[in-house]
Structure 1
Amino acid sequence: MSPWVKLAIGAAAASAALPAAAQTVQATKPETVMTALRDAGYRAMLSKDNVGDPIIKSGAAGVDFSVLFYNCTEHKDCKTVQFYAGFVKKGVTVDAMNKWNAEHRFARVYLDDDKDPRIEMDVDLDSGGMSPGLFKANIATWESLLGEFQKAIDF
Structure 2
Amino acid sequence: MTPGRLIAAALLGSLACGPALGQNVIDGSAVDEIVTIAKGYGAATLESQGDGNPRIAGNIKGVPYYVFFMNCTDKTACEDVNFYAGFANIKPTMDALNAWNRDKRFGNAYLDADLDAAIEYDVNLEYGVTRENLDAAFGVWSVLLEQYTEYVGYKPAP
Q: Quick one: distance in 2 between partners of 1:68 and 1:117?
A: 18
Contact 1:28 1:78 in 2 (8 A): yes
Q: Which runs of 5+ in 2 are unaligned?
A: 1-7, 9-21
Q: Deviations over 1:37-70 (max 9, x none)?
A: 23x2432211211111100111113201111001
Q: Deviations over 1:68-87 (max 9, x none)?
A: 00111132211100111000
Q: Give the match for residue 79 of structure 1.
A: 79
Cα RMSD between the aligned structures? 1.9
**Where does structure 1 differ by over 3 angstroms across 4 or more consecutive aligned residues?**
none
Q: Deviations over 1:115-147 (max 9, x none)?
A: 1010000011111x2122111111111111111
Q: Give the match for residue 130 of structure 1.
A: 129
Q: Deviations over 1:78-117 (max 9, x none)?
A: 1100111000134411111111010111210100111101
Q: Quick one: distance in 1 between partners of 2:90 and 2:131?
A: 37
Aligned length: 134
Q: Give the match for residue 33 of structure 1.
A: 34
With normalisation by structure 1, the TM-score equals 0.79
1:45 aligns with 2:56: no
Please give the secondary structure, in 1, of the residue aligned with 2:114.
coil
Higher strand share: 2
1:142 aligns with 2:141: yes
Contact 1:23 1:32 in 2 (8 A): no
Identity of aligned residues (%): 32
Please give the secondary structure, in 1, of the residue aligned with 2:46.
strand
With normalisation by structure 2, the TM-score equals 0.77
Q: Quick one: distance in 2 between partners of 1:91 and 1:82?
A: 22
Contact 1:24 1:32 in 2 (8 A): no
Q: Which runs of 5+ in 1 are unaligned?
A: 5-17
Distance 1:59 1:105, change over 3 A: same
